[in-house]
């Protein structure tokens, strides 16, 4: 089956075409046939398209909404210019898998999208006002363009974390607030944490029950996950993706009293404070320079910029703190896994996070760490390290495609 995987943001649309099926999943031999990204939907959009094995194409066009963007993508996919093997017309796209950010308590696994599911995602908008409306736009657009005959599946960022116990997901606020409004920790990046755990099992030859690991998704958004017996036991993001680690523009954990203090001292409204916490904090806020880790590392190295160093140090210390917390919560772990743009590509950050954790049995191998870059997968711990360290480049799209096939064929998900 050719699956179109869609990930719609407020002004962006990312896609991949992946050929997969139940037997290909079993053999782990799927093919990525094409991928692309449309940015700045709503104005002069920037379009990047790439068929497998061919150079990427960059274009610009005024695309007024997600429907226009998807229309553009679909026309390209079936065009003679793209020449994607096995795809000549719309009928060659057999199903669509959507990344949906928030599934709340309602969606604990991937589901085929019908009216009731759409209503459920709409009901969740108040928990993810930035993300779910964009995901819905992608769903509406795909339905309109592909017709009701093409099944669509929603894969939720939150669903992997639905196994968390109450002791992990409840905030210590009056219980009736949870009952009334479902205020609790949901966690995000679930598909990425799930993928890292799945690959770990393959590499280490472990069964689900034997999988006790900490996964660190370090990208623009960052989160840690404690995976106990193959399931999410705790995670650093919360009701929204604001809690936990230091991120590109989000500060993560903070004393909630800071909000009132800010309102009082700076005369800020709730929505202005929300903007500070979501868009002006984290690496950007601390450094005053950029939210981009690669650029910060360069500033620190080339110009010895004090605030760049401070931002990176705080970033690394927060990750260490969560590693320590999760090792305690799980009574130890067999491995720590790095993924996401920073986790996959920055040997320096991996080294800085792991240095000083030797007492906990975490020993990084400098040579292995230095060699593992640019999307490569492998182990970076010393031979005798009690806690193993791995780099596993994430592949959320593959899991979305697999979940789509399984949902359409009504096959059980095994991990
Ligand atoms: P997103 O969360 O938006 O998917 P990514 O996972 O692509 O983002 O991560 C983006 C982050 O990864 C940026 O901060 C970027 O600077 C960082 N990054 C990418 N490559 C490197 C590198 N070689 N060294 C350090 N940081 C890097």
- Interatomic CA distance for residues 158 and 47, integer angstroms: 29
More confidently predicted of 321 and 10: 321
* CA-proximal residue: ligand 1, atom 7 (nearest): 341
- Interatomic CA distance for residues 220 and 342, integer angstroms: 8
Closest ligand 1 atom to residue 221 Cα is: 2
Q: How far is the CA of 294 from the centre of ligand 1 (A)?
A: 7
- Interatomic CA distance for residues 403 and 412, integer angstroms: 9
- Interatomic CA distance for residues 272 and 286, integer angstroms: 18
Q: Helical H runs in 216-269?
A: 257-266
Closest ligand 1 atom to residue 220 Cα is: 2
Q: Phi/psi of residue 117, each to 5°?
A: -65, -45
Spatial contact of 252 and 314, defined as CB atoms under 8 Å apart: no
pLDDT in tens, 104-154: 999 999 999 999 999 999 999 988 887 899 999 999 999 999 998 999 999
pLDDT mean over 66-93: 94
**In terms of pTM, does the model score above 0.85?**
yes
Establish whether residue 36 lines the binding site of ligand 1, counting it when its CB lies within 6 angstroms of any ligand atom: no
**Per-residue confidence band for 97, with pLDDT thresholds at 50, 70 and 90:** very high
Establish whether residue 39 lines the binding site of ligand 1, counting it when its CB lies within 6 angstroms of any ligand atom: no
More confidently predicted of 414 and 345: 345
Establish whether residue 342 lines the binding site of ligand 1, counting it when its CB lies within 6 angstroms of any ligand atom: yes
Residue 413 pLDDT greater than 90, yes or no: no
Residue 48 pLDDT greater than 80, yes or no: yes
Establish whether residue 248 lines the binding site of ligand 1, counting it when its CB lies within 6 angstroms of any ligand atom: yes
Q: Determine how many CB atoms are found less than 10 A away from the CB of residue 230.
A: 21
Selected catalytic residue, list 157, 234, 305, 403: 157
- For the domain covering 207-391, report its CATH number: 3.30.420.40
pLDDT in tens, 360-371: 999 999 999 999
Q: How far is the CA of 343 from the centre of ligand 1 (A)?
A: 8
Closest ligand 1 atom to residue 248 Cα is: 14
Residue 21 pLDDT greater than 70, yes or no: yes
Q: Which fold has domain 2-156?
A: Nucleotidyltransferase; domain 5 (3.30.420)
Task: With H, G, I as helix, E, B as strand and everything else as coil, classify residue 406.
Answer: helix
- Interatomic CA distance for residues 210 and 198, integer angstroms: 12
Report pLDDT for 415: 53
Domain residue extents for the chain: 2-156, 207-391
Q: Are strands 335-339 and 388-391 parallel, antiparallel or unpaired?
A: parallel
Spatial contact of 194 and 415, defined as CB atoms under 8 Å apart: yes
Q: Phi/psi of residue 276, each to 5°?
A: -60, -45
Establish whether residue 219 lines the binding site of ligand 1, counting it when its CB lies within 6 angstroms of any ligand atom: yes
pLDDT mean over 52-65: 95
Q: How far is the CA of 321 from the centre of ligand 1 (A)?
A: 21
Match 């069964």 to its residue by tokens.
207
Range in 117-131, 284-298, 306-320, 340-354 the model is least confident about: 117-131
Report pLDDT for 400: 97
Is residue 157 part of the annotated active site? The answer reads yes
Q: Phi/psi of residue 225, each to 5°?
A: -140, 135
Report pLDDT for 10: 87
Q: How far is the CA of 51 from the centre of ligand 1 (A)?
A: 23
pLDDT in tens, 189-215: 999 999 999 999 999 999 999 999 999
Q: Do the domains 207-391 and 2-156 match in fold?
A: yes
Residue 269 pLDDT greater than 90, yes or no: yes
Q: How far is the CA of 166 from the centre of ligand 1 (A)?
A: 33
Residue 414 pLDDT greater than 80, yes or no: no
């Amino acid at each position: 089956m050719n699956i179109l995987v869609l990930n719609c943001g407020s002004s962006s649309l990312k896609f991949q075409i992946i050929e997969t099926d139940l037997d290909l999943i079993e053999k782990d031999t799927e093919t990525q046939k094409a991928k692309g990204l449309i940015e700045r939907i709503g104005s002069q959009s920037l379009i990047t398209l790439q068929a497998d094995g061919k150079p990427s194409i960059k274009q610009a066009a005024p695309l007024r909404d997600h429907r226009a963007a998807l229309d553009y993508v679909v026309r390209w996919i079936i065009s003679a210019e793209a020449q994607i093997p096995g795809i000549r017309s719309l009928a060659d796209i057999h199903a669509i898998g959507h990344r949906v950010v928030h599934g709340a308590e309602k969606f604990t696994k991937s589901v085929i999208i019908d009216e009731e599911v759409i209503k459920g995602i709409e009901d969740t908008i108040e928990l993810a006002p930035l993300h779910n409306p964009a995901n819905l736009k992608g769903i509406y657009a795909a339905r309109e363009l592909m017709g009701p005959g093409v099944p669509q599946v929603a894969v939720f960022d939150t669903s992997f974390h639905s196994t968390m116990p109450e002791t992990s997901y409840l905030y210590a606020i009056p219980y009736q607030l949870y009952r009334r409004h479902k205020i609790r920790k949901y966690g995000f990046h679930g598909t990425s944490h799930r993928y890292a755990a799945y690959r770990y099992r393959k590499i280490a030859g472990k069964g689900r029950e034997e999988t006790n690991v900490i996964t660190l998704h370090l990208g623009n958004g960052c989160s840690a996950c404690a995976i106990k017996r193959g399931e999410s036991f705790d995670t650093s993001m919360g009701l929204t993706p604001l809690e936990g680690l230091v991120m590109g523009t989000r500060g993560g954990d903070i004393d909630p009293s800071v909000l009132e203090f800010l309102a009082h001292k700076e005369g800020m409204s709730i929505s202005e404070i929300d903007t500070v916490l979501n868009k002006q904090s984290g690496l950007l806020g601390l450094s005053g320079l950029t939210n981009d880790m690669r650029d910060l590392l360069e500033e620190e190295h080339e110009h010895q910029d004090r605030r760049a160093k401070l931002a990176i140090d705080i970033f690394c210390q927060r990750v260490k703190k969560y590693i320590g917390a999760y090792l305690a919560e799980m009574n130890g772990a067999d491995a720590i896994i790095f993924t996401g743009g920073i986790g996959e590509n920055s040997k320096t950050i991996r080294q800085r996070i792991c240095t000083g954790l030797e007492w906990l049995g975490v020993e990084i191998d400098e040579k292995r760490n230095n060699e593992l870059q640019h999307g490569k997968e492998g182990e970076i711990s010393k031979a005798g390290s009690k806690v193993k360290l791995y780099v596993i480049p994430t592949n959320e799209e593959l899991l979305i495609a697999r979940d789509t096939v399984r949902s359409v064929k009504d096959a059980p998900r095994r991990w």
